[in-house]
Amino acid sequence: MSFLAVLFALIIEQARPLARGNWVHVAARGWASWANRSLDAGKPQHGWIAWTVTVVVPALVVLLVHWLLLGVSVLLAFAWSAGILYVTLGFRQFSHHFTDIRDALDEGDEAMARELLAQWRQVDASELPRSEIVRHVIEYSVLAAHRHVFGVLGWFSVLAALGLGPAGAVFYRLAEFVARYWSDNRRQSVTSTGEGASPALQLAAASAWGVIDYVPARATSLGFAVVGSFEDAIDAWRNYTQRFAAGAPAATESRNDGIILAATSGAMNVRLGGAALKAKFPADAAPGFPGDGLEDEKNTATEPMPGREPEVAHLRSVVGLVWRSVVLWMVLLALLTLARLLG
């Protein structure tokens, strides 16, 4: 049933994607803001209480509903799982940005590509050369694909196999969202109460997210290696890890993102990493649920990795890499589902 739920969710999401600012996103943003206002008193224990209420409680509610529906009908439980996956898993919440920028570059309109990139990520892209536009688009898109598809798929599959239904998908997406939402006081001051999350709450959310994404990030990297250039991807992964060990300590979530980008760089033989873009938040920024990855590139700024200079053709290559990985993990999920049924 897990395989079919994922398949149905992906098909429906491709046909009818969620619009930005839909009621699910608004509810998630409001829930995180309420927890910040009501439970964040600035101490470490309060930070963890607020994080637990915001992330764990909704996952438990989803699990409870799943068990109740399962007691009534397997079909109802299946529909519930597919519905939860529909709002937590999928490409279309960010892929239109990627497509628009790629089309602009194909037409030779670099000014439009810079403008679209700046609008998507709220960054200053006014002076980017063509190769840097491509690099940033690849990095943003790969991380967004991981957080919207592969990470969700991993947590859903593991917990569903344990009889916990779609709780894993909700748990993963909310953990990613609050770590990003609470970390940016500038955006909160525009869209929320004017009071950002305390350092204790930000630290709790970031620490939890680094642990939660530890295994999924490496699973995504391994998938890219399998469907891409395996030896080059593993070599880039190893080199990145060695540079990290030799350098200054960094947050776990930064290391997770860096490993994904290193594996992508090796799998495609393209140079990724380098200077980060400066984030900008205009005063009239429209409130919305930023659900497609990092709010700025602070976690993707790394030393340049070896490989060819990024070109527009690499944008099509990254699409193929991602979709081959989707097929790989769907086949594995189908085999696990079949083995469970036969066992």
DSSP string, 164-212: -TTHHHHHHHHHHHHHHHHH-HHHHHHHSSS-PPPHHHHHHHHHHHHHH
pLDDT exceeds 70 at position 185: no
Confidence of residue 192 (pLDDT cuts 50, 70, 90): very low
Pair 122, 296: CB distance under 8 Å: yes
The reply to whether the predicted model has a pTM over 0.85 is yes
**How far is residue 173's CA from residue 169's CA, in Å, rounded to a whole number?**
6
**How far is residue 277's CA from residue 128's CA, in Å, rounded to a whole number?**
9
pLDDT computed for residue 284 by the predictor: 36
188 residue type, one letter: Q
Pair 182, 201: CB distance under 8 Å: yes
Written as six digits, the tokens of 202 are: 């930000």
Confidence of residue 247 (pLDDT cuts 50, 70, 90): low
Confidence of residue 254 (pLDDT cuts 50, 70, 90): confident
Q: 105-118 as b/e, with b when 16 or more CB fall inside 10 Å?
A: beeeeeeebbebbb
The secondary structure of residue 291, as a DSSP letter, is -
pLDDT exceeds 70 at position 217: yes
Pair 273, 265: CB distance under 8 Å: yes
Q: Select from 14, 21, 24, 329 the least CA-distant residue to 174.
A: 24
**How far is residue 223's CA from residue 151's CA, in Å, rounded to a whole number?**
12
pLDDT computed for residue 251 by the predictor: 62
Pair 34, 181: CB distance under 8 Å: no
| Rg (the chain; Cα; Å) | 20
**How far is residue 123's CA from residue 307's CA, in Å, rounded to a whole number?**
25
Confidence of residue 302 (pLDDT cuts 50, 70, 90): low
Confidence of residue 292 (pLDDT cuts 50, 70, 90): very low
Written as six digits, the tokens of 103 are: 């089309």
Backbone angles phi, psi at 270, to 5 degrees: -130, 145
Q: Is 276 left (phi over 0), alpha (psi -120 to 50) or beta?
A: beta
Is residue 245 packed enough to be buried (19+ CB in 10 Å), middle (13-18) or exposed (0-12)?
A: exposed
The set of residues, in sequence order, having a beta carbon less than 8 Å from that of 171 and lying 6+ positions away, is 55, 56, 59, 155, 159, 212
Is residue 126 packed enough to be buried (19+ CB in 10 Å), middle (13-18) or exposed (0-12)?
A: exposed
| Among 170-174, 196-200, 267-271, 288-292, the least confident range | 288-292
Torsion of CA 45, 49, 50, 53, to 10 degrees: 170
